[in-house]
Structure 1
């Protein structure tokens, strides 16, 4: 479609992906689905087959909308679908990304849980850090005692989860909540699915290995980061070769040790690769886009004191994914901080595979990643 001039490749890709996950959430008679808002943030609530005598567990799910790096992509997908379906409500910045209904329905049914899908605002309507504000606001609302009582949720069994850039938002939310002394209820677990966690080094072994791997080649990933921060596309090529965190960029100096993948990754991964560290680079990039070094955008670079207060964590990574090493490094840093971590790696996995579980893309690895993820939640939530 792209090369025929019918559509931009991101619009085409996302329309296809959206179609794969568009199975109706009402296909399960066991799950009740409602659309509402939590403190002004749109949410879709999936309620499992409740047993009145037992409080339910709950998970807040943040879809790959995507927190940041993928947001322009999701915006394009929604607008393309909106135009195809000729919906009257089509408008710039509109939400309504529904292609995780099937996963959230399965979670609600198999976990007998309340799943809250948070529909935060997307680029280009808003940019970082507004997405985090939306997610935090909706989660705080849900965790109020009267709201938990309404949904029959056990306040001690609430988790946060998300995939890809949704995993970025989930990780950022987890860090913020762990430091908030005013929160009466705390998150019990966090589950991150091939999360986006840093924008300082685009030459980790997984970025080098999967530089041109579908669905998420390196060049596209870097552009998504620039989109998230409303940055200048002229910086993309320089960022690809790590010129934004070169040795002469003083702002990045203190953070490089937290991304030393030679020590954070196992030798089985690092042995065939060398770090890309530029002596001189483009100091303008971080000066104009300081958000690149903000731990709210890049949870992997957070202080050790922040990490040690995080809840039990699940991180799913895939071999054929530029983001693989983000997840593995975060697991290592969390373990070093004393957090109990389950690192669930799939050698045949690729970025986004968990939503490819229905015909004609019912890939085995999609089914296995979903089952493994839901099993962990069932055992730990």
Structure 2
């Protein structure tokens, strides 16, 4: 029933899209496929809101149910990467659920590389055990002969910050313990942390925390961040303005994700969109995400800062939502002394993504702090493309981005 209703609703959405078609930027290839995917996502979310209105549960949980059903259908039509080669098991690391993908040991019993991966989904969606994340972990494990641990941290609405961060930190410390690394035959000098979008946020925060923790005898060797979301003080950077209505992830949805994650009142969304919350932040903190200084001219283009000052609703907002200034939630706000201790980094950004400038600014600040950084920018990329490598939503830019990521890990870990 869920599949039939979703198909009917998606068909109506596609028909409406045809009548009201607005082309995407010309640089994006396979545009109709992207628009179709965007329509399906929006239709599923609308259906979930209807279910909530009918008293059938929270819309986020309903959306997960629709998505899980669709993914199950597609899974039956596609082979799992590494099937018959990898050992895939579910475990708990410090009480946190994880999925572990292991290749067979080499004949010479050499230690293997390790990767802690954190999925995206706006801190509300996604799972290490389903869909593109499970498929991606299997592919990485097989291609790099690597032990991949993917974290199933708790999500909104069941919880909010700092619980997801603490789940990931607990799993990371467990994995990095010498005993556990030895159990999985992982070389302690070759362990990476990585994630995409909200997972990139958590991965960056973990890289900072572990780097600063003198009690950790093993630390991450590298961090690989895929279009990470890194700050919530400026929702009018050039990329937020340029891509405000972009498919897959637009500007209003991003602000909603932040408010949900930080436990804020959703009625504050218009004020955050206007940057009315940021003027009372300390100048030192605002300088750490000053895109007029941190972005190259080609990305600044002809955009101007939006300060949004002088609104009574915003007095005390930073006290009401302290996570806005917490570096565990907003890693771009970390000081240079913290960044200097971080492991070398890979940062992937996409031109047509509201989060583009977060990644560009972080790469610049890491480099300024003396960290070796590889910046991979896709001029035809859009948010989510890294995970779009499986039928029926296979995108050329996704295949290229995933292959470049694997090559970097191969060469740098």
Q: Into which bin does the TM-score normalised by the smaller protein fall?
A: 0.7 to 0.9
Q: Are 1:278 and 2:308 matched, yes or no?
A: yes
Which stretches in structure 2 are left out of the alignment for 5+ residues?
A: 1-8, 10-41, 50-58
- Aligned partner of 2:31 in structure 1 is none
CA offsets, 1:216-261, max 9 Å, x none? 1000000000000111011100000100012xx1x44331111110
Q: How far apart, CA to CA, are the structure 1 residues paired with 2:88 and 2:367?
A: 37
Aligned residues of 2:195 and 2:225 also touching (Cα < 8 A): yes
Question: Residue 131 of structure 1: which of 154, 158, 164 is its match?
Answer: 164
Higher RCO (C-alpha under 8 Å, 6+ residues apart): 1
Which stretches in structure 1 are left out of the alignment for 5+ residues?
A: 79-94
Q: Are 1:32 and 2:87 matched, yes or no?
A: yes
Aligned residues of 1:49 and 1:109 also touching (Cα < 8 A): no
Aligned residues of 2:82 and 2:142 also touching (Cα < 8 A): no
Q: How far apart, CA to CA, are the structure 1 residues paired with 2:168 and 2:47?
A: 35
- Aligned partner of 1:86 in structure 2 is none
What does 1:1-381 correspond to in 2, within 5 Å? 1=9, 6-8=47-49, 15=66, 19=71, 22=75, 25=80, 28-53=83-108, 54-64=110-120, 66=121, 70-74=122-126, 97=130, 99-246=132-279, 249=280, 251-281=281-311, 282-381=314-413
Q: How far apart, CA to CA, are the structure 2 residues paired with 1:3 and 1:37?
A: 34
Find runs of 4+ consecutive structure 1 residues off by over 6 angstroms: 2-5
Q: How far apart, CA to CA, are the structure 1 residues paired with 2:310 and 2:268?
A: 15
- For the aligned residue pairs, the C-alpha RMSD in angstroms reads 2.2
**Distance of aligned partners of 1:45 and 1:285 in 2 relative to their CA distance in 1, 3 Å threshold:** same
Q: How far apart, CA to CA, are the structure 1 residues paired with 2:131 and 2:390?
A: 15
Aligned residues of 1:196 and 1:323 also touching (Cα < 8 A): yes
Q: How far apart, CA to CA, are the structure 1 residues paired with 2:125 and 2:93?
A: 25
**Distance of aligned partners of 1:126 and 1:153 in 2 relative to their CA distance in 1, 3 Å threshold:** same
Paired residues, number: 355
**Distance of aligned partners of 1:16 and 1:364 in 2 relative to their CA distance in 1, 3 Å threshold:** farther
Q: How far apart, CA to CA, are the structure 1 residues paired with 2:351 and 2:196?
A: 16
Q: How far apart, CA to CA, are the structure 2 residues paired with 1:158 and 1:287?
A: 37
Greater CA radius of gyration, 1 or 2? Answer: 2
Aligned residues of 2:71 and 2:131 also touching (Cα < 8 A): no
Q: How far apart, CA to CA, are the structure 2 residues paired with 1:317 and 1:192?
A: 9
Aligned residues of 2:125 and 2:155 also touching (Cα < 8 A): no
Aligned residues of 1:207 and 1:323 also touching (Cα < 8 A): yes
Aligned residues of 1:26 and 1:33 also touching (Cα < 8 A): no
**SS of equivalent to 1:255:** helix
TM-score, normalization: structure 1?
0.88
**SS of equivalent to 1:328:** helix
CA offsets, 1:256-307, max 9 Å, x none? 1111101100011113111111332312321210110111100001011000
Q: How far apart, CA to CA, are the structure 2 residues paired with 1:292 and 1:252?
A: 12
Deviation at residue 13 of structure 1 after TM alignment:
9.0
CA offsets, 1:39-68, max 9 Å, x none? 10101000124214211001000011x4xx
Q: How far apart, CA to CA, are the structure 2 residues paired with 1:57 and 1:27?
A: 17
**Distance of aligned partners of 1:349 and 1:26 in 2 relative to their CA distance in 1, 3 Å threshold:** closer
**Distance of aligned partners of 1:106 and 1:13 in 2 relative to their CA distance in 1, 3 Å threshold:** same
Deviation at residue 73 of structure 1 after TM alignment:
4.0
